Amino acid sequence: MQKQMDKIAALYYRVANKQQDSAYLDNQMQKLLCYANGNRIDSFTLYADINQSGLTLDRPAFNTLKADIEAGRVGKVIFTDVARVARDYILVDKFFEWAQARGVEIISITDGAITSPPLSDITALLRSLLKGGGRV
């Protein structure tokens, strides 16, 4: 098994439709790159889903990310906020649980390191409910 330091950091970002212009996508990418630079993360891969809904986890780049996690290449997944993973909090929770069971660290730039699946974190759950009734 590879050591954690041999694994890459996955920088994931997503926009749902073309109306969310490229500036929004670029903003997410810049935040991720600044975070990586500021935290001395040198080995990373960018995963971007453009024009992909957050209502499902079945997206091209996200599927590649999951395959890389399954193959043991990813040590941490970093995104700007939880809504980039999915708009449905149950899907987010399932993904976090799945990834963490494989030893992957989950980091939201907005929320920091996520040490347990979101639905087990009452603060995260309340924040989600305030944002939109069970969706992130």
Which amino acid is it at 132? G
Instruction: Give the confidence band of 99 by pLDDT, cuts at 50, 70, 90.
Output: very high
pLDDT at 122: 53
Higher pLDDT, 37 or 124: 37
Task: Kindly report the average pLDDT of the chain as a whole number.
Answer: 84
The residues spanned by each domain of the chain are 4-132
Note the pLDDT tens digit of each residue in 58-78: 999 999 999 999 999 999 999
Range 12-27 average pLDDT: 80
Q: Say if residue 3's pLDDT is above 50.
A: no
- 4-132 has which fold? Rossmann fold (3.40.50)
Alpha-helix runs per DSSP H in the chain: 22-38, 60-70, 89-101, 122-132
